Structure 1
């Protein structure tokens, strides 16, 4: 509705309201006059009674026998007589109270009532007057009135009589019918299906825009109402790939007048329509028919594509190494591929139509039943089962199951993909045996390492003691070379002792022995500075506050002690600095230990992390320290690397996972 129509509607409503106010003022004025002329009314009533006396007996007979509400009023609308039916309908009794019929009329019908009264006075009769009124209890009712004037002997109107019929039920029914028609019209207009309703004479009663669009009809549905469809088939046959077949089919359908569903029509532009014909009968008489047309091109093409894809991949599925089986909701086998037959030992003929749970002997029957119930709920999952094949051999299968749906999305069964993992399971069993044996071997080696270290350290301690005795007993007889040799002997013994301790530490680093508790790395570095020898010219500085980690305290101590000790002993500057810092990353902590020592040549950057590998002239180095560092970093899923320049210093970087 445009703005102009809205404006006109507003003006019409204002005029209606103004007329209603005028009518109310008129009624109020009339009421006032009526009360002022009460005495005149009494005289008029007396006169009317005298004038009507001649017809009394005749009218009384008619009055008594009228079943419908009957009312007599004076020229001004005041009720002067009414029967029992009228009293029951209106709730008033003229013998007990004075009331005017115009006072009962609903405000929306006042203007119409005034025109109707005017017609009654001018013509003498009023037929099918319909209005809404208020009865005495303020209930709204719809009434229909047929009335006529009563004249005196001089043909002057002195009163009016009328029969009132309560049509409230009829009006409500009509309103419901109109609402239903509107809903039906709206529904048909918005359907995605073309609709054409024809009466028994092939005239269009109803259609919608979709129908017009399907057949490229350049007019609106309203303009088609009443159009003759006798030649419609001939006029529209050019749209179809088989024009004559289209016409003959319509003629056959109309002649038989029987229900036809899902007629498929191919159009020249490539579209595919689906047509239904529904004949309409009332009391056995043919009243017309309904055509419905739906564009199913996408659905048909989709179905064709699905079939093509199914055909394309079925040969692959049939010959793949994975066993495929489909069952319905009753566990009856619907389909198997060749691989499944090979895995189970049964032929396709032996499997189809059989219950899977009966022909296939599965150890985990309760599990299969549970998974079957879950399929009905639309769940998919994978699990392992042990199956006895036709030959009696027990194999291990990995089964991936999923629900199978029909076109409506309803679960109609399940589909299973099976992989024979018997060989893998056997390997796993062998692996478990090997792991058990390896664990026993490792325990034995660990015990052996402790025994060997003890046996090795015992003679070392003896050698150290003998060297000490020789030094103490023969210090005066020994020259400088002899004293030097004894000192060298002690250093070698000390180096050998460190090497044995390093080997034990390296061999004992395992993930299963790691403890997890809060470890303050600041305290760890502080403790290391108190324990190890740090020359006076070297400073060990924490550059950034170090985090507290959930880690093994001993391993963290070994990690930082080896790096700090390595840095301290390789500083050749008069003022040495070892700095320790950290940077927080998304998934880990990145630490560094930096020194200003001798530096490490590029060719040794990878070699130094291997056990027993060391560089430089420091003979006390065992070549195990950085190997221990690397192993600990690996345990915490980190990485370690270094940057170094010969003569300037080295920075070791390493990460520890959060």
Structure 2
């Protein structure tokens, strides 16, 4: 549908383009003045325009036949170029071919308007656009064509506005109106046709809508209209007033059109009749002033005028001096009245303005000499007016001359007025164009009208919004009067300067600039305020202002003229605080300047081997760059939380500061009372610029000859903690503290990174060395094996066990090298190898017993663990850790042999125990019974000798019985299986004491037991036996009336010590060695029946089984014994 509509429009427009120029040519051919202007000076442009439009319409119709269109386009371009050259006056002979012998010849206007030139230019643009459309389809070139058409639309609309508003400088003379309207309408049609020809998807849709093309054309035309009107307004100051213009028009018509034509015009126009009578009376007046017409030619001219024109005489003739006065009053373009009658126009101009017969009849020939005299005697204003085609006609007689002028800008004969038909046609074409464009965009057009209504409503509040804007703007704004005084300031401006609104209102803008910048800043503002055409001015370079506190800030200003309430021009000064941006720019410049230094630091420190060397390189470069005389490094002592000096220092200048250096190297800081301490506590770079500064005064007090220029300290960080502090002193060169601090702060980060890097490198190096030492000092052999089974590394222990060197193992398969056979010599299958299984299954495998083969082919029994090495969730290989258990295997075999012998011995002991309990016990009881029976018989017979023997024999049998019981008891407790449990010694000892008190209730026994005895892991029965026997022995071997037993507890890091102390008879020192032996109990001279000694032997054996021990010692300075039991914690 759209394509059909566009195609039909194309043919309609092309038809109109052909029809209108045919009408123009028809009017010229038949001299129809109601269609065209029958004038030889108009003919070239009209005919050229018509021919070009014919060619243009033909080319548009033949667009489907591309080559034919190009032929028409070429012809149109040729005619348009010739027309353009003719309008510029380059082809004067071109106009002669259209000359006609028409008595009605009208003079050229001095300013014929812009129509001729605009027409030629538009033709060239349209035809070029059409040529681009025909010859190419490139989008970029189509854009060029599109904007050419936009220019044509703008210029055509401008000409139409000139016609409707009667602005002759736009449309030309009034007689050209018809052609101007026709040409402009045709331009609209042709341009619109070519817009239709463009690709709607790529170009037209972007501009053919209510907000686009009509708005652009209208705004552009109005802009050009203002410019042209302004220029015409300036020229209007030199034009003649209306009354003079009408009189002069009549004179020109009389001189240039002939007597008959003038007569006809006068008869039709009463105003011209009156003017003719007015001037004719002057020419033939008989008063004294008529003597001015002395020459015969002058008189004959005047008489001829009267004969041809005069119908009656005025009753009151006008004197010639009145005309002189009239001209002097109204000719504004001539400054000197004495030359009012000496104005002239050169003969060349006269000959071009009238027929030769008329020129010879009424004018004398002005010779070259006279022409030069007149030209040189004319004032400069008149000469300039001639240059602007302000023309005057003069003929001379002796010293008198008669003045005739030609109107410079108004039309010569305003015989035609704007035709209503063309006005309606123009208005209708504009309406149709707008409706056509908005046909498919009615929604947008409606929306645009709504927006327009809203915009008009908002326009009424412009002043209120402007006031609100400047009052509440975030940017500082000042309103200045024409003298530069502040009339208004908003809150942001008051905040910027720190003044109140009242204080600012009394100030001149110059008071806000510092003295050193005031003159420079005011120069530009003063020029702006004194400029006759004030316009917006933006100062891109920052200005310096001074706040109330004396702080200087950088601002950018914009000066905008506004109209105040009293219609006086005021200046709005908009300011933008750019101090931060400037500081940022300075910082960026400083960073840029430090790039080389940073590069040197990074380059040189990368080659350093230690952190001390890294720090020394940094000191050297900084001191060299910033000309520091002395530098010192302080390290942070974390244990004491102070800064301590380092032997690292740097001296660049040959000055006597040895004492200063020695004093500085002794310093340490725990507070911020001096410069390094302040940098440490504040965690940022600090500086001092005077020797009297408290931060450096104490250090420099002993050295008055050293005049400090600047001192600076910068902290160096390591993992967000202060690692060290660099201190710098300069005694010879002054520097900007802020700039220096910025540079050092930036360098601090680079130095921190360099130190941290080398500390990390040292840590890695130390870690590698530590791992190497661990590998080399390990008691196990350690092998690294990759995924293919090849050996990567081996430690020294592994080399000793296997006998291979590292070079012999390198890139060799581990299984084929030392794990190829079983202990019996059979082949060890690779799939069964635990090492290979660990690689395949990614699992740790432990093997308690296996065989490896050494380099010499000897078998080695090993115990090993294979663990996979994982990196980034991928197995990279395995680590094999193995021990040589060959000796362990031999020892294990011996242990097994000993174990078997021990089992055999236990069987024999058990057999002996059974023998003692059965076979040995019966004879012992028999011997004891017979001894007792024999003793009784001896007592009856009173045989003392036999009774004595019988008693001894009875005692020996009893002793033998005790030894039997001791053996049984030893066997019972020594070979009893233990059942370890967690037991509380306090509970065990309490139970033992309770039983003993019942057993010895008739004895006076006092027990003293420690509290909180420990928990131990042991067999409850055996431990109870230990404490029960020891306490019973303390009672048995005690002759005191009051028996005292003390149980104490001491805990050591390794064991629990329980002491049992009594006040008994004690044990002589010489018997201590046999104290815990079997059957060695009983000690002579104690008065107590001796025991067998079995219980102490059993106690020691039980404690040994519990990883415990027992010791005895006599009490110091008193009778009694102390038994100490030590039970291990492990």
TM-score when normalising by structure 1: 0.52
Task: Pick the aligned partner of 2:1029 from 559, 562, 578.
Answer: 562
| RMSD after superposition | 6.2
Instruction: Tell me the CA shift for residue 192 of structure 1.
Output: 9.3
Q: SS state of the match for residue 638, structure 1?
A: strand
**Structure 2 CA distance for aligned equivalents of residues 653 and 554 of structure 1:** 20
- Who is 2:1124 aligned against? 653
Instruction: Tell me the CA shift for residue 543 of structure 1.
Output: 1.0
Matched, 1:521 2:989: yes
**Structure 2 CA distance for aligned equivalents of residues 634 and 548 of structure 1:** 19
Q: SS state of the match for residue 476, structure 1?
A: helix
Task: Pick the aligned partner of 1:111 from 436, 457, 476.
Answer: 476
1:116–1:129 contact (8 Å) kept in structure 2: no
Matched, 1:539 2:539: no
2:561–2:569 contact (8 Å) kept in structure 1: no
**Structure 1 CA distance for aligned equivalents of residues 811 and 932 of structure 2:** 94
1:576–1:597 contact (8 Å) kept in structure 2: no
Q: SS state of the match for residue 1113, structure 2?
A: strand
Name the CA shift for 1:566/1:488 in 2 (closer, same or farther; >3 Å): farther
1:582–1:589 contact (8 Å) kept in structure 2: no
- Who is 2:912 aligned against? 448
Task: Pick the aligned partner of 1:434 from 898, 916, 930.
Answer: 898
Instruction: Tell me the CA shift for residue 561 of structure 1.
Output: 3.7
Task: Pick the aligned partner of 1:361 from 819, 825, 850.
Answer: 819
What is the count of residue pairs matched by the alignment?
461
Matched, 1:98 2:566: no
1:583–1:589 contact (8 Å) kept in structure 2: yes
2:480–2:570 contact (8 Å) kept in structure 1: no
**Structure 2 CA distance for aligned equivalents of residues 88 and 114 of structure 1:** 35
Instruction: Tell me the CA shift for residue 525 of structure 1.
Output: 2.5
Instruction: Tell me the CA shift for residue 459 of structure 1.
Output: 0.9
1:579–1:593 contact (8 Å) kept in structure 2: yes
Matched, 1:624 2:779: no
Matched, 1:580 2:580: no
Name the CA shift for 1:471/1:181 in 2 (closer, same or farther; >3 Å): same
1:386–1:394 contact (8 Å) kept in structure 2: no
Matched, 1:639 2:1002: no
Q: SS state of the match for residue 612, structure 1?
A: coil
Task: Pick the aligned partner of 2:624 from 203, 217, 237.
Answer: 217
Q: Deviations over 1:428-482 (max 9, x none)?
A: 2332343244234324423432333432211111222333444566753344554
Name the CA shift for 1:194/1:460 in 2 (closer, same or farther; >3 Å): same
- Aligned ranges 1:3-152 → 2 under 5 Å: 64-65=219-220, 93-96=455-458, 98-99=461-462, 100-104=465-469, 107=472, 109-112=474-477, 114=479, 123=531, 124-128=534-538
Name the CA shift for 1:107/1:365 in 2 (closer, same or farther; >3 Å): farther
- Who is 1:460 aligned against? 924
Q: Deviations over 1:592-642 (max 9, x none)?
A: 444434332222223312223232255642122322232233334133222
**Structure 2 CA distance for aligned equivalents of residues 647 and 95 of structure 1:** 124
2:839–2:868 contact (8 Å) kept in structure 1: no
Name the CA shift for 1:558/1:522 in 2 (closer, same or farther; >3 Å): same
**Structure 2 CA distance for aligned equivalents of residues 440 and 580 of structure 1:** 44
**Structure 1 CA distance for aligned equivalents of residues 559 and 954 of structure 2:** 141
Name the CA shift for 1:122/1:101 in 2 (closer, same or farther; >3 Å): farther
1:345–1:389 contact (8 Å) kept in structure 2: no
Q: Higher strand fraction: Structure 1 or Structure 2?
A: 1
Q: Deviations over 1:209-239 (max 9, x none)?
A: 9878426424289xxxxxxxxxxxxxxxx9x
**Structure 2 CA distance for aligned equivalents of residues 329 and 91 of structure 1:** 83
Q: Deviations over 1:330-364 (max 9, x none)?
A: 55323457875674476766632134356443888
Q: Deviations over 1:150-177 (max 9, x none)?
A: 99xxxx878999xxxxxxxxx9xx99x9
- Aligned ranges 1:96-495 → 2 under 5 Å: 96=458, 98-99=461-462, 100-104=465-469, 107=472, 109-112=474-477, 114=479, 123=531, 124-128=534-538, 194=601, 213-214=620-621, 216-219=623-626, 325-328=783-786, 331-336=789-794, 340=798, 343-344=801-802, 351-357=809-815, 359-361=817-819, 365-366=833-834, 370=838, 386-389=850-853, 395-398=860-863, 418-470=882-934, 476-480=940-944, 482-495=946-959
Name the CA shift for 1:327/1:585 in 2 (closer, same or farther; >3 Å): same
Name the CA shift for 1:584/1:594 in 2 (closer, same or farther; >3 Å): closer
**Structure 1 CA distance for aligned equivalents of residues 453 and 931 of structure 2:** 138
**Structure 2 CA distance for aligned equivalents of residues 522 and 403 of structure 1:** 57
Q: SS state of the match for residue 626, structure 2?
A: coil
Q: Which has the higher contact order (CA 8 A, sep 6+)?
A: 1
Name the CA shift for 1:394/1:496 in 2 (closer, same or farther; >3 Å): same
Q: Deviations over 1:25-73 (max 9, x none)?
A: xxxxxxxxxxxxxxxxxxxxxxxxxxxx999x99x9787359xxxxxxx
Q: Deviations over 1:313-334 (max 9, x none)?
A: 99x969x997564445655323
Structure whose alpha-carbon radius of gyration is higher: 2
Q: Deviations over 1:84-119 (max 9, x none)?
A: 9x9999998243451333533584644346469987
Q: SS state of the match for residue 624, structure 2?
A: coil
**Structure 2 CA distance for aligned equivalents of residues 653 and 103 of structure 1:** 101
Matched, 1:603 2:1070: yes
TM-score when normalising by structure 2: 0.33
1:581–1:591 contact (8 Å) kept in structure 2: yes
Task: Pick the aligned partner of 1:497 from 958, 961, 972.
Answer: 961
